[in-house]
Amino acid sequence: MIVHDTVIIIKQAKSYDERMITILKSLITSDRRRWIALAVVCMGQLMMVLDATIVNVALPSLQRDLGFSQANLAWVVDAYMIAFGSFLLLAGRLGDLLGRKRMFLTGLVLFTLASVACGVAGSQAMLITARFVQGLGGAVASAAVLALLVTEFSEPHERAIAMSVYTFIVASGGSIGLLAGGVLTQAISWHWIFFINVPIGILTFVLGRGLINETQRLGLGHGVDVIGSLLVTVALMLGVYAIVKVTEYGWVSAHTLGFGAAALALLAAFVAVESRLANPMFPLRILRVPGLAASSVVRGFLVTGMFSTFLLGVLYLQLVHGYGALATGLAFLPLTLMLGLSSVGITARLMERFGPSRVLVVGLVAIAAALVLLSRLPAHVAYFPAIFGPFALLGLGAGLSFLPLTTIAMADVPIADAGLASGIVNASLQIAGAIGVAALGTVAADRTKILAGLGQHHLQALTGGFHLAWTIGAGAVAIGALITLLALRPPQRPDEVIRLDEREPAEFQLEAA
């Protein structure tokens, strides 16, 4: 009897939920629904991107309240990065198979629940575990976002606007996270950098369930590539772990080389398995899509140079200039504002006139120039204009770079593989960011030790370390610009930025959603 009544209640709740969704959709015109859905999806994406950096300025408070050692404290950041970077490819492919809306909402629920656990964490183990689950939820949701956008907005001009908003969220999330973390930590407590996600997550889920249309999907009719999924996920997890722990163990340590070699071996086994399967998790044909692989390489060099600015910039402002958490976040505002200004349509119009490759080169040159300017800053300098100028130039360069890169990457991707391609784009960003932070952070620390050993004042030695790291970052971005000139070409069909490839094999025909 109890079971029977429970089933009736569940059916009634489901029926009520479906009626509410129908009513919500009926109140909004189709065109308006798409743009509101864009805002909803990007709100969820921003929440997840923020968490990559929002905890950085709260780490001292976390260490004090929960008794973290310096080594264990790094796991608060590393657990999120390892999970996020490891599951992007698998999550992207699951979106193609099961539906991108379904994966976005699933990831959103995981992320929101994990945020609650982070906020109430009373022990180190609980916080680190919850951060890992947060990263998993962020990967599952984020891998679906770009695929949702490019399938929802088919008209080139509309797609350019939608992708402008998306790239602004992704590129500016780091600096916004620093500001939000500083405000919440200083005004309330570190718990609220996690609790703030809960109402946003709930609102995003409710609106997303009602307004986002489910995309077509491949389905599971041809089986699931379990072995390939396990191989690539474990390989990425080991690789990202090796990278994020470099600052602790060193680049040529047995720890780094061992985990790195294991990751490469698993990736080689993954490629061998995928090349032999009729229905692989990672169809190798995706690597032949024009622009996708090359743009990922360019994105890697760009992110290696630029995203290190968030970590090194925070350390520079706090250790050299004595900024607090809130002042550090405010210092990054020029970067965020310039990025937002160029994302409101300016970059899209420039791309229409000059092509994405040319706009990308200009953006990369601006970022390299900004990093060179940062590498010339003395230890004692006023914020304006010496620091303000390079930060603003970084924002302008990012605004001119990320949208063209994303456009080139997704230009010829078949709809059937849009989720996987979205995972590749996000994975190249996350893994390159981890490499950049680890590599340039190590360079800065080693240079500081050398200069201090030579008798330089502590602040001068610190500044010298940052200078070398920023110089190398500028070189990485310059290499990205060179690759763009030599290897990247604008999409051959700008009016068909994403399409269903008629040459797809029969087994990849889409199921109805």
Q: What CATH number did the domain enclosing 32 receive?
A: 1.20.1250.20
Tens of pLDDT, residues 447-457: 999 999 999 99
- Is the domain of 311 the same as that of 271? no
User: What is the pLDDT at residue 512?
Assistant: 37
User: What is the pLDDT at residue 22?
Assistant: 54
Q: Is residue 511 part of a domain?
A: no
- The reply to whether omega before 385 is within 30° of 0 (cis) is yes
Q: Is residue 506 classed as helix, strand or coil in its secondary structure? A: helix
Q: What is the mean pLDDT of the chain?
A: 85
Nearest residue to 51 via CA among 158, 159, 131: 131
Interatomic CA distance for residues 255 and 466, integer angstroms = 26
- Is the domain of 263 the same as that of 397? no
Tens of pLDDT, residues 213-232: 888 777 776 556 888 999 99
Q: Is residue 405 part of a domain?
A: yes
- Is the domain of 299 the same as that of 409? yes
Q: Is residue 510 part of a domain?
A: no
User: What is the pLDDT at residue 6?
Assistant: 37
The model's pTM: 0.82
- Is the domain of 262 the same as that of 376? no
Give me the domain span that covers residue 422.
2-224+281-497
User: What is the pLDDT at residue 476?
Assistant: 95
- Is the domain of 276 the same as that of 408? no
> Is the pLDDT reported for residue 206 higher than 50?
yes
Window from 21-30, 323-332, 343-352 with minimum mean pLDDT: 21-30
% of the chain at pLDDT higher than 90: 47
Which value, to the nearest 10 degrees, does the dihedral of the CA atoms of residues 202, 205, 211, 215 take? 170
What lies within 8 Å, CB to CB, of 92 at 6+ separation is: 143, 144, 147, 419, 420, 421, 422, 423, 424, 426
Interatomic CA distance for residues 269 and 86, integer angstroms = 17
Tens of pLDDT, residues 97-117: 889 999 999 999 999 999 999
Tens of pLDDT, residues 25-79: 544 556 788 899 999 999 999 998 888 778 877 888 888 899 988 778 888 988 9
- Give the 3-state secondary structure of 167-193: HHHHHHHHHHHHHHHHHHHHHCCCCHH
Mean pLDDT value of segment 10-25: 49
* Residue ranges in 188-282 assigned as alpha helix (H): 192-195, 197-211, 226-244, 246-249, 254-274
Tens of pLDDT, residues 1-12: 444 443 443 344
Which among 280, 302, 320 is the end of a domain? 280
> Is the pLDDT reported for residue 508 higher than 50?
no
**Top mean-pLDDT range of 152-161, 373-382, 431-440:** 373-382
Mean pLDDT value of segment 139-159: 88
How many separate domains does the chain show? 2
* Cβ proximity of 324 and 338 under 8 Å: no
Mean pLDDT value of segment 158-182: 83
Q: Is residue 480 part of a domain?
A: yes
Q: Is residue 155 part of a domain?
A: yes
- Is the domain of 432 the same as that of 463? yes
> Is the pLDDT reported for residue 248 higher than 90?
no
Interatomic CA distance for residues 123 and 107, integer angstroms = 25
**Top mean-pLDDT range of 131-140, 408-417, 441-450:** 131-140
What lies within 8 Å, CB to CB, of 356 at 6+ separation is: 403, 404, 405, 407, 408, 490, 491
Mean pLDDT value of segment 451-467: 93
Q: Which token pair is 346?
A: 């300016």
> Is the pLDDT reported for residue 199 higher than 90?
yes
Tens of pLDDT, residues 249-279: 888 999 999 999 999 999 999 999 999 888 8
Nearest residue to 144 via CA among 82, 199, 100, 110: 100
Which among 256, 280, 304 is the end of a domain? 280
- Is the domain of 81 the same as that of 63? yes
Q: Which token pair is 442?
A: 């190590």
Q: Is residue 425 part of a domain?
A: yes
Beta bridge partners of 217: 511
Interatomic CA distance for residues 22 and 38, integer angstroms = 19
> Is the pLDDT reported for residue 135 higher than 50?
yes
- Is the domain of 372 the same as that of 448? yes
Greatest CA separation for the chain = 82
Residue the block writes with tokens 């695929």 = 147
- Is the domain of 180 the same as that of 248? no
Q: Is residue 151 classed as helix, strand or coil in its secondary structure? A: helix
φ, ψ of residue 499 to 5 degrees: the values are: -150, 170
Window from 184-198, 216-230, 497-511 with minimum mean pLDDT: 497-511
- Is the domain of 324 the same as that of 443? yes
User: What is the pLDDT at residue 109?
Assistant: 97
- Is the domain of 271 the same as that of 204? no
Confidence of residue 492 (pLDDT cuts 50, 70, 90): very low
User: What is the pLDDT at residue 16?
Assistant: 44
- Is the domain of 259 the same as that of 346? no
User: What is the pLDDT at residue 15?
Assistant: 52
Which among 216, 246, 280 is the end of a domain? 280
User: What is the pLDDT at residue 131?
Assistant: 95
Interatomic CA distance for residues 82 and 454, integer angstroms = 37
Q: Is residue 314 part of a domain?
A: yes
> Is the pLDDT reported for residue 160 higher than 70?
yes
User: What is the pLDDT at residue 509?
Assistant: 44
Q: Is residue 159 part of a domain?
A: yes
Mean pLDDT value of segment 175-194: 85
Nearest residue to 132 via CA among 85, 65, 69: 85
Mean pLDDT value of segment 118-125: 94
DSSP 8-state assignment for residue 455 = T
Q: How far is CA 473 from CA 157, 306, 476, in A?
A: 33, 7, 5
User: What is the pLDDT at residue 455?
Assistant: 92
3-class SS shares of the chain: helix, strand, coil, % to 5: 80, 0, 20
